[in-house]
Amino acid sequence: MITRLSHLFLRTLRDDPADAEVPSHKLLVRAGYVRRVAPGVYSWLPLGLRVLRKVEDVVREEMNAIGAQEISLPALLPREPYETTKRWTEYGDGLFRLKDRKGQDYLLGPTHEELFALTVKGEYNSYKDLPVTLYQIQTKYRDEGRPRAGILRGREFIMKDSYSFDLDDEGLKNSYAAHRQAYQRIFDRLGVSYVIVAATSGAMGGSASEEFLADSPVGEDTYVICRESGYAANVEAVVTPAPAARPIEGLPAAVVHDTPDTATIATLVDWANGAGLAEQFGRPVTAADTLKNVIVKLRHPDGKTELLGIGVPGDREIDEKRLGASLEPAEVELLTEADFKENPFLVKGYIGPKALLENGVRYLVDPRVSTGSTWITGADEAGKHIVGLVAGRDFTPDGTIEAAEVRDGDPSPDGAGVLESARGIEIGHIFQLGRKYTDAFDVDVLGENGKPVRLTMGSYGVGVSRMVAVLAEQKHDEKGLRWPREVAPFDVHVVIANKDEGARSGAEALAAQLDAAGLEVLLDDRTASPGVKFKDAELLGMPLIVVVGRGYADGKVEIRDRFAGTAEEIPADTAVEAVVARVRG
């Protein structure tokens, strides 16, 4: 069937929407692919829906190819299973919660580990049934704090989520590897440029996890990559190489100094260099010689709060995302004036490890604060610092924490070179979850030896609706959208660019032949001017545009290739063959 622009439910817009910042958002709205209904909630219009369905098809084919079976679970879910796993509360404000007429609690599913675990438990009871992988392509709901960039970060969005169930760790590794390959095939077919990075497991719990990030300057994920070794990791997952422990014997005793007005690292470093420490150190003192102690308040899922001290080298800021990921599921809050009043041992600007440890505040340090390292830090009295405080001798922290910022030039954890940062958009995520959910719901089957076996799970997601925005983001040019063949709403866009009856009937005939050859054809049969039609064709983004215009009288049509940027006049009677060859080629 030929789709005619004169009938298509489509209005293109000349101006960018006022709320749009990134190109994909602007273009998808201007080209009439999506329309905003509420923050992070969008309607799909015909062209957008066609792209979305094509992305779904690629995902579905590759999931089926690894033996995964498609099912569909509700988005409206009862509270109980999420209560069992504590995610009813741990999910925090991100969860859409609602009540039915009887006052029963429900939620709109943000991800479905609970329900898949229960579904498998409901149907299977023998080791012979395993392994099994189930998936769905379904609407998810998350009350995102910052819905952004149209469908890139929605509050309603479509995800392909799959879940593998295996008898043992070996099986889980295989299911994970199969997914990893399927994801590579999906993203390669879609033509996305991406990297695979090591990730933290976040609120999901569990161990091995990797993210697929599409390269994009507008991405919200920062990752680091070591060009020498190819090591790549989400910033949250970067492990700081800890220096080896150094000998403590012979190090001079720590000395408390009067350091008036040195509540900031910069003023402290100035004091140190002015006070002759540079001579003692044999080099200028820098912020990296100081130990900065930051106190935060943790709110645990059970509602309890706890003060936590974090020690980082003074030349580094705390990275909120890394800190948050390290402390999940607890939420991190800043201290209020009231907290300082309640804990008078916390002397702002002069906090040291001693007061924290003496007052029972848990104290975690950056891995660089290793045994035998020496620091200038607060002496827990206003206007006083201590110089030569040795980790492992003068204080023993409760452990280490990955909270300090990662910088370009930091050593790669694999020792192969240095890290460099880049930005990306998360398009897929694979996890070896393990038994967190099967433990919660006692998902056992009878093993070969007659004993129950607890299943182990993997969970895997692809952002299907987000992918539409990612492709728009990566492929567009200054004229408009440009869709890779695999997902373009139509294979070819035929433009009638002349009022003359010959051109019109020639274009109709050409469209009919292309259609008969099995191509999806969009025909611009409107009465608008050629200029308007060309602009729209470029905005809408079909990979091939065939112009039937003035040259038709001389037996010529023009083929424009949006990716190659070429425009070529060819004999009209070879046009079908030429277009088919390009689409299939």
User: Contact residues for ligand ATP (CB under 6 A)?
Assistant: 111, 142, 144, 153-154, 157, 159, 426-429, 461, 463, 465-466
Least distance (Å) between residue 531 CB and ligand ATP: 36
Least distance (Å) between residue 75 CB and Mg ion: 19
Q: From residue 406 to residue 445, what is the string marking binding to Mg ion with x (rule CB under 5 A)?
A: -----------------------x----------------
Give the DSSP letter string of 379-442.
Answer: -SSTTEEEEEEEBTTTB--SEE---BPP-TTPBPTTSSSB-EEEEEEEEEEEEEEETHHHHHTT
Least distance (Å) between residue 131 CB and ligand ATP: 22
Of 353 and 463, which CB lies nearer to ligand ATP in the complex structure? 463
Closest CA to 302 of 76, 43, 86: 86
Of 204 and 572, which CB lies nearer to ligand ATP in the complex structure? 204
Least distance (Å) between residue 431 CB and ligand ATP: 8
Contact partner at residue 463 from ligand ATP, Mg ion, none, CB < 5 to 8 Å by partner kind: ligand ATP
Of 110 and 314, which CB lies nearer to ligand ATP in the complex structure? 110
Least distance (Å) between residue 149 CB and Mg ion: 17
Of 201 and 262, which CB lies nearer to ligand ATP in the complex structure? 201
**How far separated are the first and last CA of the chain, in Å rounded?**
22
The CA distance from 540 to 563, in Å, is 13
Angle, to 10 degrees, between the axis of helix 46-65 and the axis of helix 464-475?
Answer: 110
Of 314 and 463, which CB lies nearer to ligand ATP in the complex structure? 463
Least distance (Å) between residue 58 CB and ligand ATP: 15
Residue 492 C-beta-side C-alpha neighbours within 13 Å: 32
Contact partner at residue 153 from ligand ATP, Mg ion, none, CB < 5 to 8 Å by partner kind: ligand ATP
Closest CA to 165 of 375, 432, 407: 432
Structure tokens at 455: 């299943």
Least distance (Å) between residue 428 CB and ligand ATP: 5
Closest residue to ligand ATP using C-beta atoms: 463
Contact partner at residue 466 from Mg ion, ligand ATP, none, CB < 5 to 8 Å by partner kind: ligand ATP
Of 232 and 369, which CB lies nearer to ligand ATP in the complex structure? 232
The CA distance from 27 to 16, in Å, is 8
Dihedral Cα 140, 146, 151, 155, nearest 10 deg: 20
Closest CA to 457 of 133, 160, 139: 133
DSSP category for residue 17: P
Cα angle 219, 220, 221; round to 5? 95
The CA distance from 523 to 493, in Å, is 6
Of 72 and 527, which CB lies nearer to ligand ATP in the complex structure? 72
Contact partner at residue 234 from Mg ion, ligand ATP, none, CB < 5 to 8 Å by partner kind: none
DSSP category for residue 246: -
Least distance (Å) between residue 321 CB and Mg ion: 13
Of 204 and 440, which CB lies nearer to Mg ion in the complex structure? 204
Dihedral Cα 6, 10, 15, 18, nearest 10 deg: 170
- Give yes or no for residue 160 binding Mg ion (CB under 5 A): no
Residue type, 144: E
Contact partner at residue 539 from Mg ion, ligand ATP, none, CB < 5 to 8 Å by partner kind: none
- Binding residues vs Mg ion (CB under 5 A): 429
